A = this chain, B = another copy of it.
Amino acid sequence: MKNVVVIGVGLIGGSFALDIKNKFPDVTIYGIDSNKEHLEEAISLGVIDAEISINQLSKVDLVIIAIPVDATLVLLPEVLDNVAGNTIVFDVGSTKEDICLKVKNHPNRRNYLAVHPIAGTEFSGPSAAIKGLFQNKTNIICEVEETAFKLQEKALALFSDLGMRIRYMNPKAHDKHIAYVSHLSHISSFMLGKTVIEKEKNERDIFDMAGSGFESTVRLAKSSPAMWTPIFKQNKTNVIETLDEYINNLKHFKSLMEKDDFQSVYQEMESTNYIKQILNGIK
């Protein structure tokens, strides 16, 4: 591996760049970003080595696309138009069905691997990039059979070098499950933040009374709307389904309280304590 291109030099793209540079000091890492300031910042932070443009991809070994999922739909076909046969291209988006469909019939489909690393923070931009972000994280790969075998191998070797564990899944199942364990969490957090902000016009009251529990629950409400809006758009059907179920569960909890059925309120919480075992598994 000699030349790597990172499209989108933010949290995820930048973290890939840092780890690749760390493992393979001789690799040159080029960046592409619609935000010129981010590009300059990424160079000055040492996240990437230099700028490149999309029609200069013919001699690169690896292209990582780490931009909002709506932009990926536009850019991935263009990237595939420009790469040579031995270039592996992967995206890292939080939705997989639309993107796989988009390039289904592209002549260079076999250069592409659909990837979703379950890693990140609520921050964004090149300064949010972190060394070792992917260590011990799950990396979901979709439709692996559509990618050329030799290029799969290259990508898997990299993921292994970065410490990731691999799970294979079809794009439809990916989008459905991820709606529950990621997309819904973000909406619940944003709406919790909204509810509290609306009510507490005097923010000193929040400031002083909120503890670590509140902080933990609304942490995701710091996330980037530019990244999350297209995710919700592309995964609309699944996300609406999770929202329906979540809202129904909240309404049911409220109705138990209204009926003074606190024995059932207790049982609702007790049975959900089972989440402990699941979370222990994540660690």
Q: Which residues of A contact B (CB under 8 A)?
A: 118-122, 137-138, 140, 167, 177-178, 180-182, 184-200, 203, 205-223, 225-226, 228-230, 232-233, 236, 239-240, 242-247, 249-251, 253-254, 257-258, 260, 262, 265-276, 278-279, 281-282
Q: Bound state CA distance, A265 and B226, in angstroms?
A: 10
Whether the pair A203, B279 counts as a contact (CB closer than 8 A) is no
Q: Bound state CA distance, A194 and B251, in angstroms?
A: 13
Q: Bound state CA distance, A262 and B122, in angstroms?
A: 20
Instruction: Count the copies.
Output: 2
List residues of chain B with CB within 8 A of the CB of A208.
118, 138, 140, 167
Question: Known interface pairs A208-B167, A218-B275, A265-B232. Does A185 touch B181 (Cβ–Cβ under 8 Å)?
Answer: no
Whether the pair A276, B210 counts as a contact (CB closer than 8 A) is no
Whether the pair A214, B181 counts as a contact (CB closer than 8 A) is yes
Whether the pair B190, A188 counts as a contact (CB closer than 8 A) is no
Question: Known interface pairs A213-B220, A275-B221. Does A243 touch B232 (Cβ–Cβ under 8 Å)?
Answer: no
7 smallest CB-CB distances across A and B, nearest first, come from: A225-B269, A193-B275, A118-B211, A185-B217, A181-B210, A207-B281, A191-B249
Q: Bound state CA distance, A223 and B273, in angstroms?
A: 7
Question: Known interface pairs A182-B209, A278-B207. Does A268 touch B192 (Cβ–Cβ under 8 Å)?
Answer: no
Whether the pair B197, A229 counts as a contact (CB closer than 8 A) is no
Q: Bound state CA distance, A268 and B190, in angstroms?
A: 8
Whether the pair A279, B218 counts as a contact (CB closer than 8 A) is yes
Apart from A210-B279, A225-B267, 13 more pairs, CB < 8 Å: A118-B209, A177-B206, A180-B206, A182-B214, A191-B250, A207-B281, A210-B278, A215-B282, A225-B269, A225-B273, A232-B265, A239-B257, A240-B258
Whether the pair A220, B221 counts as a contact (CB closer than 8 A) is no
Q: Bound state CA distance, A177 and B209, in angstroms?
A: 8
Partner of A218, one of B185, B193, B239, B265: B185
Partner of A254, one of B185, B213, B243: B243
Whether the pair B244, A119 counts as a contact (CB closer than 8 A) is no
